[in-house]
Amino acid sequence: MNGAPARIQLCSTGEIAPGEALKVEVEGLSLAVFNVDGTFHVTDDACTHGPGFLSEGYLDGEVIECNFHQGCFNVRTGEVVKPPCIVPLKTYPSVVDDGILYLEV
């Protein structure tokens, strides 16, 4: 099918304060949603290194520190910022419409 991408509702933007993260489970995906100074970024919640959940990590600007072994990723690009993580984090396109954050699929 052509046309606009489908959308999956994630959360209300008001649920996540700047500098905070929220775990959202939709459509079999376990996602972490980050508010970086009013811009929202969506990634897999599971750390690529082990059992850590990034929604429970420490967000500093665009960088999330996993609270398990303190590895870091950029939540916008998914790239590894600090070991022991090696594999980049999967990121997902999202859009805000009328105060609601959607995944674009």
Residue type, 15: E
Laid out side by side, the sheet with 7-12 consists of: 7-12, 100-104, 94-97
Instruction: Name the one range near ligand FES by CB under 6 A: 6-14, 24-32, 49-57, 88-96.
Output: 49-57
Residue from 24, 41, 52, 59 touching ligand FES (CB under 6 A): that is 52
69 binds ligand FES (CB under 6 A): yes
Only one of the segments 20-28, 30-38, 42-50, 91-99 lies at the binding site for ligand FES (rule: CB under 6 A); that segment is 42-50
Quote the DSSP letter at residue 71: -
CA–CA gap between residue 34 and residue 23 (Å, rounded) = 9
Residue 68 near residue 84 (C-beta atoms within 8 A): no
Residue 55 within binding range of ligand FES, rule CB under 6 A: no
Choose, by CB under 6 A, the member of 79, 84, 90, 97 that binds ligand FES: 84
